[in-house]
A and B are shown apart, each in its own frame.
Chain A
Amino acid sequence: MTVEAEIDDPRDQFPIGMRVLAVDDDPTCLFLLEKLLRRCQYHVTTTNQAIKALNLLRENKDQFDLVISDVQMPDMDGFKLLELVGLEMDLPVIMLSINGDTKLVMKGITHGACDYLLKPVRIEELKNIWQHVIRRKKFDSKDRNNCGNQEKLHSGKAVPKKILDLMNVEKLTRENKYRLYLKRISCVANQQANMVAALGGTDASFLQMSSLNGAGNFQTLNGSGQFHNTAFRSFPPSGMLGRLSTSAGLGIHSLPSSGMTQLGHSQNSGSSTIDQVNFQQVIIPGNHNGRAPQGAQTGKVFGNHSSVSFASLNSGLSSPLPDHRRLNDNWSTAQSSGIQSNSFSLNDTFKQATMQPSNLRDNMSTMALQIGCDPCNVSSVSSISTQSQDLRADVQCRTNLISSNAGQVSNNALAQRWDDHDQDGSYHSNVMCSSINSMIPVNGTVGPLGQHLGPKNTIFHTNMDFNSMEQSNFIDPLYMNHNEVNKSTMETSLKLKQGLFMDQRKPQGSFISGNFGSLEDIVSAMAKQEQDKLKLIEGDFGCDPYSLGTCM
């Protein structure tokens, strides 16, 4: 009305002129809120629909500094909006509600809200909200520094150790990871390719370590390395995640994307499968022969290029994972059964991935394959990944996604297989998975164990666009998994913002065993580098000579 700050000096007198977007379906509340905000001398834009708000934000990412939103809205859940905004635009979001239930507030926090206010809001409270903008900016710059590290990784041969070092630089707390994850989403893009190359280059595309939204994911990857093991081993819903998360730290938790959230939630709920699934997905990259993007048009693989990556995968995968006893068995079967399809429609991509797994040798690969091969496999994979709560979840998401795409079918089946393999490193897979998982949540149904992956392949579709997807970050992981297998498809996985770590390289016994280590490193490195959206850890996954050799 009158107190709007002029465009001339919006930032000079910060917080005066801070650009706020207020969303509330209740006209009375919105009217009042607007008045209050203007009283604080902010520049206010209001809308009573969450969808409109998203469109406004997407139109111009630099248009606003802060978003205030009601929790309960008819067209979209406030938490979902919160996640999307955090994921896509990385803006601070404040939740508003009449209900101050601890559970709700907690939910707000896990979804990334930087504050939770109770109605009726007092002007004194609104006078302080600008602090969240400043805080986030500071956080951002810190993250940027990390991205710098990634350069190092990319430039030369990013030795796992080096990567580890780089990654270790930052302490990733869970929160940081999440933030990093968010940042990462924005940073993604080239890093992945680099990472992949660094990793071992089989198919960089696969390794896309899409900046698993949470650098944390990577972090966890480093730490746990066990990714494989945990993820794959126990598909038991509750168990897996726990492991995955620890190792991979994929922590999909609260994936920003709405879809992700689901993943995150699922993850938290203990559906280990998801983690595992993610895991699997990631591992697949092992096979990549060479980055041949074959089809993997990086990132887009899933939705768009599905055929591409898979095609390559198929070629690569010739040999089913030898090591993984069960996985291999499964894989082979899976491969024969499903892999051929190049149809990428999300499902397909997964299928492809399954094909690839054979190359991966690692459990991961199997996972990937599985995922790709059949919907069932995929599902199992996803389930595996579900568990990673932390950033790992991201990876998992990915895998889950992948799996879910596959048709979510036998997530469990895959899970079982994976278990057999020793996944010690599965971290990466977790990471990948989480990313996948994260993707999955998009639809909200990640259900690897059938729960998260959300049978909707749509998740992937949406995610497929990694580059553009809001939640897509994870999609890459899926690709990644597949890529691993194919290496070539890796490219697509590169796209994966999430930067799945296709760490799965370790073919021996455990999925990630061999590569895992490298994956881990990569993961950590990736985690550090926020920019790398998708880091394909191609090399790691199944690139290991011991088993991969045949793959590609």
Chain B
Amino acid sequence: MERNQMRRQLALIRQSFFDQGFLDEQFIQLEELQDDANPNFVEEVVTLYYRDSSRLILNIDQALERNPLDFNKLDNYMHQFKGSSTSIGAKKVKAECTQFREYCKAGNSEGCMRTFQQLKKEYAILKRKLEAYFQQARQAGPLETACRSRN
């Protein structure tokens, strides 16, 4: 019973991700790839994402401190960032990446910095949410996959 409740709760949380625009369909694709052979596939991918992107964020932060800004380099970083964010379906983060690249193309330093701050915020929020989600999923047990109900 409690399990069911947990699972239901989990499903709701998951749904909220989509409703609030944190995640998009790509996340569902990830979930579909999860199977018995890789029961924690989604979590693995997300963990990999956060590990790799934190390095990128550091690089971008450093690059943003330079003066003048090397927009080309920044754009390259962001291209990478966008790529991986897209792969896990991080919708809001991806949107910020796009915005950032626009500013890069326009050579707008102020815009870049502002956007990046926003991006980091979204990135952190999503990370927190996903971590909580996975933790709960583990608690709910292997039946968690059953929670993957398409609402």
- Smallest CB separation, B89 vs chain A (Å): 8
The answer on a CB contact under 8 Å between B86 and A98 is: yes
Complex Cα distance, B52 from A292, in Å, reads 60
Instruction: Return chain B residues, CB-CB under 8 Å to A39.
Output: 33
Query: Does A169 count as interface, using CB distance less than 8 angstroms?
Result: no
Interface size on A, residues (CB 8 A): 21
- Smallest CB separation, A116 vs chain B (Å): 15
Query: Does B49 count as interface, using CB distance less than 8 angstroms?
Result: yes
Instruction: Return chain A residues, CB-CB under 8 Å to B45.
Output: 28, 31-32, 35
Complex Cα distance, B121 from A509, in Å, reads 73
Query: Does B106 count as interface, using CB distance less than 8 angstroms?
Result: no
With both beta carbons as reference points, the residue of chain A lying nearest to B85 in the complex is identified as: A28
The answer on a CB contact under 8 Å between A98 and B79 is: yes
The answer on a CB contact under 8 Å between B26 and A26 is: no
A-B contact count (CB 8 A): 60
The answer on a CB contact under 8 Å between A119 and B37 is: no
Query: Does B83 count as interface, using CB distance less than 8 angstroms?
Result: yes
Complex Cα distance, B32 from A2, in Å, reads 16
In the complex, chain B residues 39-65 whose Cβ is within 8 Å of any chain A Cβ? 41, 44-45, 48-49, 52-53
With both beta carbons as reference points, the residue of chain A lying nearest to B80 in the complex is identified as: A26
Query: Does A99 count as interface, using CB distance less than 8 angstroms?
Result: yes
For B38, B44, B84, B88, the residue with the greatest tally of chain A CB atoms inside 10 Å of its CB is B84
Task: Give 3 nearest A-B pairs by CB, closest first.
Answer: A28-B84, A2-B37, A28-B49
Complex Cα distance, B125 from A438, in Å, reads 51
Query: Does B82 count as interface, using CB distance less than 8 angstroms?
Result: yes
Complex Cα distance, B32 from A72, in Å, reads 27
A-B contacts, 10 of them at CB < 8 A, read A26-B83, A27-B52, A28-B48, A28-B49, A28-B83, A32-B45, A119-B83, A120-B29, A120-B86, A123-B29
Give chain B's interface secondary structure class: helix
Query: Does B76 count as interface, using CB distance less than 8 angstroms?
Result: yes
Complex Cα distance, B139 from A233, in Å, reads 79
The answer on a CB contact under 8 Å between B37 and A31 is: no
Residue-wise interface mask of B (69-101) relative to A, using a CB-CB cutoff of 8 A (1 in contact, 0 not): 000000010011011101111000000000000
Instruction: Return chain B residues, CB-CB under 8 Å to A31.
Output: 44-45, 48
Instruction: Return chain A residues, CB-CB under 8 Å to B126.
Output: none
- Smallest CB separation, A45 vs chain B (Å): 18
Query: Does A107 count as interface, using CB distance less than 8 angstroms?
Result: no
Instruction: Return chain A residues, CB-CB under 8 Å to B44.
Output: 31
Complex Cα distance, B52 from A345, in Å, reads 45
With both beta carbons as reference points, the residue of chain B lying nearest to A33 in the complex is identified as: B87
Which residue in B30, B33, B48, B82 is a CB contact (below 8 Å) of A27? B48
Complex Cα distance, B33 from A36, in Å, reads 7
Question: If A1-B37, A39-B33, A122-B29 touch, does A28 touch B76 (CB 8 Å cutoff)?
Answer: no
Question: If A1-B37, A1-B38 touch, does A29 touch B29 (CB 8 Å cutoff)?
Answer: no
- Smallest CB separation, A2 vs chain B (Å): 4
The answer on a CB contact under 8 Å between A29 and B84 is: yes
Question: If A98-B79, A120-B26, A120-B29 touch, does A28 touch B41 (CB 8 Å cutoff)?
Answer: no
- Smallest CB separation, A282 vs chain B (Å): 39
- Smallest CB separation, A32 vs chain B (Å): 5
Instruction: Return chain A residues, CB-CB under 8 Å to B53.
Output: 28
The answer on a CB contact under 8 Å between A32 and B38 is: no
Complex Cα distance, B33 from A3, in Å, reads 12
Instruction: Return chain A residues, CB-CB under 8 Å to B48.
Output: 27-28, 31
The answer on a CB contact under 8 Å between B38 and A29 is: no
Complex Cα distance, B82 from A70, in Å, reads 14
The answer on a CB contact under 8 Å between B84 and A72 is: no
Instruction: Return chain B residues, CB-CB under 8 Å to A119.
Output: 83, 86-87
The answer on a CB contact under 8 Å between B37 and A98 is: no
With both beta carbons as reference points, the residue of chain B lying nearest to A32 in the complex is identified as: B87
- Smallest CB separation, A325 vs chain B (Å): 49
- Smallest CB separation, A221 vs chain B (Å): 41
The answer on a CB contact under 8 Å between B33 and A35 is: yes
Complex Cα distance, B84 from A122, in Å, reads 15
The answer on a CB contact under 8 Å between A120 and B87 is: yes
In the complex, chain A residues 18-61 whose Cβ is within 8 Å of any chain B Cβ? 25-29, 31-32, 35-36, 39
Complex Cα distance, B88 from A509, in Å, reads 66
The answer on a CB contact under 8 Å between A35 and B41 is: yes
The answer on a CB contact under 8 Å between B83 and A98 is: yes
For B29, B37, B87, the residue with the greatest tally of chain A CB atoms inside 10 Å of its CB is B87
